[in-house]
Chains A and B, each alone.
Chain A
Amino acid sequence: MAEKVWEAHLVHRAEGEPDLLYIDLHLVHEVTSPQAFDGIRLAGRTVRRPDLTIATADHNVPTTSLDLPIEDPISKKQLEVLTANCAEFGITCFNRGDANQGIVHVIGPELGLTQPGMTIVCGDSHTSTHGAFGALAFGIGTSEVEHVLATQSLPLTKPKTMAITVTGSLQPGVTAKDLVLAIIGEIGTGGGMGYVLEYRGEAIEALSMEGRMTVCNMSIEAGARAGMIAPDDVTIAYLEGKEHAPKGEALADAKAAWLAYRTDEGATFDREVFIDASAISPQVSWGTNPAQVAPLSSTVPSPDDFADPAEREAAIRALQYMDLVPGTPLKDIRVETVFIGSCTNSRIEDLRLAASIFEGRKVAEGLRVLIVPGSHRVKAQAQAEGLDVIFTAAGAEWREPGCSMCLAMNPDKLAPGERSASTSNRNFEGRQGRGGRTHLVSPAVAAATAIAGHLASPGDLS
């Protein structure tokens, strides 16, 4: 599938040079674009295809009331620069408060801009999310952002392919997040480097589009720039009726083209990995990289459990940073904050799942719980379903959309030493705030933890 999308976008190929690939959609946000726009201006160039480019403000935006000003002057300036750059070059931009604003990887799909067989890039490593539709989508650096703005293309070397076949079905209560955490635990943070991943098998096919996006989103945490899932009826059903999805006769043409991108029977991959879905239980990260995960029902591992010296060394450092003692049951770990949000888990299905657990219950005494929808559209949908009422009645904070505490560029941060259960994607040192300690979990585990006050699954609640 990756190969087919690659070949369909080939603009130029020459011996001894990287292939030049056309880019169908360029997503832009405030953090990785200002220096690229500067580069365009300095060189006297222009944006080649503003009509294939879209911008939104997400990393920096406060998630408190839209009526309040942005207090951080540097964040405020970055958002103003995004608006000015987009106006100058004729790019549609959804800034703070716009009805279409949201996390860049949430709005692309919900607007119907993300479609099978496309090449999609963004100056953000979680662009892999869009691979859930069978698009070849990957994160790029600012130099490449400038390159795409100027030429709508990128010189690239073809990656290797890895098939991750997930057989069987997930047990009830086990989510796409648990699945992808288990996959990362299996192949490691470097396992996917140099590869495009293709997730396949019955457990993948059984996932909703939201679940597929969660899985593809975290491909980068396994080292892979892109992860893909073959388009099927679930994909088409999701796209039908979306604002930018094809309609009428164009839809018929598109459907045929989309399905033709599926990997051929008998196609070979450079590497194959098999995962048994039925053996996976709710997962939680214990360390400071996303491969340091374990089943929630188990205990904090010991560095001695790792044969590889580098992994053992990393475990020692991680346990020290996380202030954890080997052998402690993971469910005994108490947290001070729960964050439900991010491009991994802030879609309507994630919020419905969390709400089903919060309903009729109360957040544990003293706990801070932030629920940050992925976009204004997700927020509006959740409110139409009354989910916000369930969250606030339980004692959680219902916020405005943005990246928020996933990377703590806005005021939503952990204090030094503070511990969180988070539905985001990275548990790096200081990721959610300097000195903060992050446990990555699914929305179900996050909600149950919010109520119990310690890491817990919904089954642990009375």
Chain B
Amino acid sequence: MKPVTVITGRAIPLNRSDVDTDQIIPSDWLKRVERTGFGAGLFSEWRDDRDFVLNDERFQGASILVAGPNFGTGSSREHAVWALMDYGFEAVISSRFADIFFSNCTKQGLLPVTIAPEKASALLEAVTADPSLEITIDVARGTIEVPAIGMSATFTLEPFTTERFLNGWDDIGLTLRNEKDLTNFEGERPAYLPTTA
């Protein structure tokens, strides 16, 4: 993945809780065997509604999604992350993320930012009220700043995840540094364990 250090941009408010991955990218889109082009399917059922926030011109070009709690629940489809990134999002802010979605974000370089519920609600309100608000997210410092309204918040990632974002490290490459440990482990697995052969 590409290194991610500082993200600066405007945000789109998605004031809904429990946004599941079936909403983010409906299953019809999952038949594709490519990794690109999913942006067109992002929230596609909701986008049919003219009043849906993604259709609001004032928010066009925003790179940060501010969502309600429990974002990304349900299916493990990484297509949800591909769709958000393909659409142009670089970060998602919520007070709570579903585990698999969060993990998928960190593998692809979409920054999942968890902030306190009251901060998340305040940010949703502020962004809804002013689509031009500029937000800066600093990965190394773990901070969100909205200078125009004097708002700031902090978030934490595991130190190793932070390093991966900052350096754009490839997980498989990192794991293969432990090739010897893997081979040793394989030599000691119990004989009763099944194989598919």
Contacts and interface: CB of A to CB of B under 8 A. Distances in A.
Given A45-B172, A223-B70, A250-B191, A407 B27 contact: yes
B17 A77 contact: no
Nearest to A246: B192
Interface residues of A, number: 86
A123 interface: yes
A9 B74 CA distance: 27
Contacts, number: 203
B96 to A, nearest CB: 6
A250 B189 CA distance: 13
B196 A151 contact: no
Nearest to B105: A141
Nearest to B22: A428
A18 B22 contact: no
B185 A22 contact: yes
Interface string B137-166: 000000000000000000000111000000
Contacts of A25: 194, 196
Interface in A90-116: 91-92, 112-113, 115
A151 B88 CA distance: 31
Contact of B76 (A91, A123, A313): A123
A413 to B, nearest CB: 9
Given A31-B31, A74-B31, A115-B193, A429 B103 contact: no
A139 B197 contact: no
B31 A429 contact: no
B78 interface: yes
| B17, B26, B27, B181: most-surrounded residue (chain A CB, <10 A) | B27
Nearest to A154: B175
Contact of A143 (B22, B78, B182, B189): B78
B76 A125 contact: yes
Interface stretch (A229-237, A251-259, A366-374, A453-461): A251-259
Nearest to B158: A157
B178 A143 contact: no
A72 B31 contact: yes
Interface in B162-181: 171-172, 174-176, 178, 181
Interface stretch (B3-11, B32-40, B57-65, B126-134): B32-40
Contact of A144 (B26, B96, B107, B160): B107
B52 to A, nearest CB: 13
Contacts of A78: 31-33
B181 A141 contact: no
A428 B181 contact: no
A362 B26 CA distance: 35
B136 interface: no
B5 to A, nearest CB: 19
Nearest to A243: B194
Given A314-B18, A317-B16, A426-B22, A151 B100 contact: no
B196 A54 contact: yes
A155 interface: yes
Contact of B108 (A11, A143, A152): A143
A150 interface: yes
A190 B70 contact: yes
A364 interface: no
Contacts of A77: 31, 33
Nearest to A59: B30
Contact of A253 (B176, B189, B190): B190
Interface of A: 11-12, 16-18, 20, 22, 24-25, 31-32, 34-35, 38, 43, 45, 50-54, 59-60, 72, 74-75, 77-78, 81, 91-92, 112-113, 115, 118, 123-125, 127, 138-144, 146-147, 150-153, 155, 157, 159, 189-190, 193-194, 220, 223-225, 244-246, 250-251, 253-254, 257, 289, 310-311, 313-314, 317, 407-409, 426, 428-431, 434
Task: Identify the 10 closest CB pairs spanning chains A and B, nearest first.
Answer: A143-B107, A141-B104, A141-B78, A34-B33, A139-B76, A254-B192, A142-B78, A54-B196, A125-B76, A246-B192
8 contacts: A18-B160, A38-B33, A78-B32, A115-B193, A142-B78, A147-B175, A189-B18, A313-B16
